[in-house]
Amino acid sequence: MALYLLDHGAGNVQSLANTLKKLGYEFSWISCPEDFHKASSIIFPGQGAFDPSIEHLSAHGMLEPLKEYIRSGKPYFGICVGMQVLFEASTECPSARGLGIIPCPLERFEDADKAVPHMGWNSADLLDPTLANSVTEAVSPSAHYYFVHSYCAKYNPEKYPASAEWAHTTTQYGQELFLSTVRKGNVFGTQFHPEKSGAAGLALIDTWLKQSQIERVSAPPTLPITRIPKPKDGFTKRIIACMDVRANDEGDLVVTKGDQYDVREKANSSEVSGTSVKAAGAVRNLGKPVALAARYFEAGADEICLLNITSFRHSPLQDQPMLAVVRAAAECIFVPLTIGGGIKDSVDPDGTKRPAVEVAGAYFRAGADKVSIGSEAVYAVEKLRAAGGKEDGTSAIEAISKAYGIQAVVVSIDPRRVYVDPATYDGPYKDELVYGKPDGPEKERGRAWWYQCTVSGGREARELSAVQLAQGVQVLGAGEILLNSIDRDGTGLGFDLDLIDMVKRAVTIPVVASSGAGTKEHFVTVFEESNVEAALAAGIFHRGEVGIQEVKDAVRQAGISIRSTNS
């Protein structure tokens, strides 16, 4: 089999290459239009937006050869944008035309009842359940798969009868049904990312590749079936393991963990335990990033996050160890990977300018799915507000989301509480004040506070609130918010529910609750008390105090939908 992969120049295609390597398949990249003739199977692992993907294929003379290849009847597997290009057009950019093989447009999800992008794990229901035991069947009805997209092909056999014939599985998000896999003849496509969907996704790719050419090209069309949305969709909450990474005093990159962002050992500690050196004042060392990432993947983390917490000090593209860490981590984890720290315009020591989009691109090529922007997001929103809310297209958020899609841009917020006397406070954050409860902790009683944004890892406070930042970055094109709390970080006191609820209500993009998890019950509480899509923890996982599986079991037992580790 001459297996070829098509790279459309945007996003993380490395993960599919890593997956194929892990599964033991050899492949080549399509590097010129002639390669389409050499291929006997093609996988197109597209990511990002429809319009730039079509533009890239067209600019490289690959659009027509791709169309010809698909018409030739040889097997084609499109992932995410690789599936979307089969459609006619997208309301995202009406002037861009897709291959038009599936006669139906892609439309944006409604965001009145749910966060958009649809980012996370969801199920895929076979339209024709009799196919469940068929040898050509690769999608498991009991599994969850990782989705990340804002536009979809809605399942509506009455309005789009010809496209319904292509529907192989549908997925429900909120009350909307859409085509999550398509299949007809030689063409198969998944809206989700199997290469990021853990064991279930790897099995799907392996099955497709193992099927004989005849089996793969003889899939019958699906008969349109009327399907009505169920009361509840199959979307799950996500549990994220986060690693704060920095160089220790010996220059090695280590996973560290702060207490309210202070990552140095306290003055009274001076022991050595296992591999971890605990000298007073030393950078706390909780292990090696790649080994820990692999451990968390095996333990069932739905996503993994690596934050380079001191990268604001130097040029990240010169920071080869961090890129090497991402590359090595991406080879052994098959769930989404976010990388943060130092995603900004920078200048190398030799004077070479590196725009933020180039820095992000280096991480995507290394195997990251999303980049997380901290300090630069604050500066960008300050600028946006100074310009009366008018975007100028120059920020890192705008540049990266334009090139790679909004789903690739996370904004990490580092807020700190500012306490005020509610009786006398007359400042600009009056509407965002949270009032201490009479039975709350002593320092909160009779007081109120607002949440102030900081930059450079909490070292500098800015005149901007967490709500203002969250709303501003959504306007600029961020696809997700990672909401930390300096007050709660490392304390184990539980998530700051007031902060989380306030920010979640202020935006329509997904929000990840972070900082303060100390027990499995804290995860249950944050999902019950707020509408966040995901919860993240660091310290309790690093120290082995609570396992990811334990957290997931507790969340499931509370009746909250969560992905099974082995599905």
User: Which among 137, 176, 195, 398 is annotated as catalytic?
Assistant: 195
The minimum distance between CB 397 and ligand 1PR, in angstroms, equals 11
Output helix, strand, coil percentages for the chain, rounded to the nearest 5.
30, 25, 40
Residues in CB range of 127: below 8 A, 6 or more apart = 167, 168, 169, 170, 222, 225, 227
Per-residue x/- mask for ligand 1PR, residues 138 to 157, rule CB under 6 A? --------------------
> Which residue lies nearer to ligand 1PR by CB, 384 or 517?
517
Tell me the residue ranges of DSSP E strands in 386-456.
Answer: 409-413, 415-420, 434-435, 448-455
Q: What is the dihedral of CA 80, 83, 86, 91, to 10 degrees?
A: -30
Is residue 287 close enough to count as binding ligand 1PR by CB under 6 A?
Answer: no
User: Which among 35, 376, 398, 414 is annotated as catalytic?
Assistant: 414
Half-sphere exposure of 25 (CA within 13 A, CB side): 23
Is residue 263 close enough to count as binding ligand 1PR by CB under 6 A?
Answer: yes
User: Which among 244, 302, 398, 487 is annotated as catalytic?
Assistant: 244
The minimum distance between CB 86 and ligand 1PR, in angstroms, equals 37
What backbone torsions phi and psi does residue 37 show, to the nearest 5 degrees?
A: -75, -30
The minimum distance between CB 432 and ligand 1PR, in angstroms, equals 21
Is residue 163 close enough to count as binding ligand 1PR by CB under 6 A?
Answer: no
Task: List Cα–Cα distances, 227 to 67, 155, 387, 448, in angstroms.
Answer: 31, 9, 48, 50
The minimum distance between CB 242 and ligand 1PR, in angstroms, equals 4
User: Bridge partners of 76?
Assistant: 42, 187
What backbone torsions phi and psi does residue 201 show, to the nearest 5 degrees?
A: -70, -40
CA separation for the pair 299, 250 (Å, rounded): 30
Could you tell me if 77 and 42 are in contact, meaning their C-beta atoms sit under 8 angstroms apart? yes
Query: Is 104 in the active site?
Result: no
Q: Which residues of 473-488 are buried (b: 16+ CB within 10 A; e: fewer)?
A: bbbbbbbbbbbbbbbb
Which of 307, 328, 470, 535 binds ligand 1PR (CB under 6 A)? It is 307
Residues in CB range of 103: below 8 A, 6 or more apart = 88, 160, 162, 163
Per-residue x/- mask for ligand 1PR, residues 370 to 409, rule CB under 6 A? --xxxxx---------------------------------
Is residue 136 close enough to count as binding ligand 1PR by CB under 6 A?
Answer: no
**541: its two tokens:** 């996982």
Query: Is 193 in the active site?
Result: yes
Is residue 104 close enough to count as binding ligand 1PR by CB under 6 A?
Answer: no
Is residue 360 close enough to count as binding ligand 1PR by CB under 6 A?
Answer: no
CA separation for the pair 68, 59 (Å, rounded): 17
> Which residue lies nearer to ligand 1PR by CB, 30 or 362?
362
Its sign, for the CA torsion 266, 269, 270, 272, is negative
Is residue 312 close enough to count as binding ligand 1PR by CB under 6 A?
Answer: yes
CA separation for the pair 358, 341 (Å, rounded): 14
> Which residue lies nearer to ligand 1PR by CB, 258 or 479?
258
Could you tell me if 523 and 493 are in contact, meaning their C-beta atoms sit under 8 angstroms apart? no
Which of 7, 244, 265, 303 binds ligand 1PR (CB under 6 A)? It is 244
Length of the chain: 567
Alpha helices in 144-240 (DSSP H): 161-164, 198-210, 213-217
Per-residue x/- mask for ligand 1PR, residues 29 to 68, rule CB under 6 A? ----------------------------------------
The CA-based diameter of the chain, rounded to the nearest angstrom, is 77
Query: Is 80 in the active site?
Result: yes
Is residue 255 close enough to count as binding ligand 1PR by CB under 6 A?
Answer: no
Its sign, for the CA torsion 119, 125, 127, 133, is positive
Is residue 517 close enough to count as binding ligand 1PR by CB under 6 A?
Answer: yes
Q: Which residues of 221-232 are buried (b: 16+ CB within 10 A; e: fewer)?
A: ebebeebeeeee
> Which residue lies nearer to ligand 1PR by CB, 31 or 394?
394
Query: Is 244 in the active site?
Result: yes
Comparing every residue's Cβ against ligand 1PR, the nearest one is: 457
- Residues between 416 and 445 with contacts to ligand 1PR, criterion CB under 6 A: none
Please choose, out of 32-40, 220-228, 338-346, 527-535, the segment that lies near ligand 1PR by the rule CB under 6 A.
Answer: 338-346
Pairing state between β 41-46 and 118-123: unpaired
Is residue 258 close enough to count as binding ligand 1PR by CB under 6 A?
Answer: yes
The minimum distance between CB 121 and ligand 1PR, in angstroms, equals 21
CA separation for the pair 214, 78 (Å, rounded): 18
**128: its two tokens:** 């024709």
The minimum distance between CB 376 and ligand 1PR, in angstroms, equals 6
Is residue 454 close enough to count as binding ligand 1PR by CB under 6 A?
Answer: no
> Which residue lies nearer to ligand 1PR by CB, 126 or 517?
517
**389: its two tokens:** 């809310």
Which of 46, 198, 287, 341 binds ligand 1PR (CB under 6 A)? It is 341
Is residue 412 close enough to count as binding ligand 1PR by CB under 6 A?
Answer: yes
Residues interacting with ligand 1PR, by CB under 6 A?
242, 244, 257-258, 261, 263, 307, 309, 311-312, 340-343, 372-376, 412, 414, 457, 484, 489-490, 514-517, 537-539
**Which positions are catalytic?**
80, 193, 195, 244, 414
